[in-house]
Amino acid sequence: TATTNAAPTRNQYLSNYKHVVAVASGKGGVGKSTVALNVACALKNMGKTVSMFDADIYGPSLPLMIGERTGKAKVVGNQIMPMSRYGIEYMSIGNLVDEGTSVIWRGPMVHQAIDQILRDTVWPGGDYMIIDLPPGTGDVQITLSQVTALSGAVIVCTPQDVALIDAMKAISMFQKVNVPIIGMIENMSSFICPKCSAETPIFGVGGCEKESNLNDFNFLGRIPIDLETRVCGDNGKPMLKKITPRPAPKDIRFGNKLT
């Protein structure tokens, strides 16, 4: 459209949300998307209104994890209607282009894509917008910190040194663009055998807490390596999705007249 190339004004988008929280990581595969989605579900369970934006243009995983792998967003004129599942309104590039289509955009195109999705989606607004960022410190992070007023960033990391080094780079990028660090989450922290309860620190344990203390960040907690977490992600049924209580079975004894 004619307006597509217009430079966005600073902090222009998502202003109808009270809090805009970015979930970030230095490396890929550390569980950032899993944490982002489950944080959204947990907030939803607390009675908050929550939306999500999957800003991972190159490897969107929200459609799979939220169980709408092939679902496509409705586009009406210039407006994109957000997807909705588990009471969360969300949008991902995966709901606009076909799965398997590789996105090979250069920086300015990524900027434009993020800008257009944020602008054209009819966001309902509310308490929280959770943004699942791509890993690293690239164009998307910079674009988002320019076009939205991020309340803060949650950093997801595994306890390994290689992951921690990259996480610190992501942290320093946010600090440079004045985005507060809400805290660090250590994911894949140890494995507790469901059979014998023995704890095996596959990627180590405690590294994130140590790093948080050293740098004066909040340490938000540890999530162990857990089979159900992985299965839930692959099946599109997030661990912390709202559990609707089953209706109590009708007590048929009182319905049947005793003769």
Q: Least Å distance between CB 21 and ligand ADP?
A: 15
Q: At what angle do helices 139-147 and 161-176 cross, to 10 degrees?
A: 30
Q: Does 61 bind ligand ADP (CB under 6 A)?
A: yes
28 forms part of the interface with ligand ADP (CB under 6 A): yes
Q: Which of 43, 19, 15 is nearest to 127 (CA)?
A: 19
Nearer to ligand ADP by Cβ, of 82 and 134: the residue is 134
Write the single-letter amino acid at 250.
K
- Residue 59 CB, shortest distance to ligand ADP, in Å, is 7
Q: Per CB under 6 A, which region of 31-39, 162-170, 178-186, 195-203 contacts ligand ADP?
A: 31-39
Binding residue count for ligand ADP, defined by CB under 6 A: 17
H or E segment to which residue 241 belongs? none
Give the shortest CB-133-to-ligand ADP separation in angstroms.
9
Does 134 engage in binding with ligand ADP (CB under 6 A)?
no
Contacts of 132 (CB under 8 A, 6+ apart): 23, 32, 33, 36, 37, 52, 53, 54, 55, 56, 61, 62
Shortest CB 152 distance to ligand ADP, Å: 18
Rg (CA), the chain: 20
Q: Does 29 bind ligand ADP (CB under 6 A)?
A: yes
Decide: is 71 part of the binding site for ligand ADP (CB under 6 A): no
Residue 218: both structure tokens together: 């909040």
Can you tell me the distance from the alpha carbon of 184 to that of 203, in angstroms, rounded to the nearest whole number?
16
Cβ atoms of 17 and 82 within 8 Å: the answer is: no
Rank residues 92 and 120 by Cβ distance to ligand ADP and give the closer one: 92
Of 209-228, binders to ligand ADP (CB under 6 A) are 223, 225-226
Cα-based angle 240, 246, 247 (whole degrees, multiple of 5) = 150
Instruction: Pick out residues in 163-192 that bind ligand ADP (CB under 6 A).
Output: 187-188
Positions touching ligand ADP (CB under 6 A) are 25, 28-34, 61, 187-188, 223, 225-226, 229-230, 233
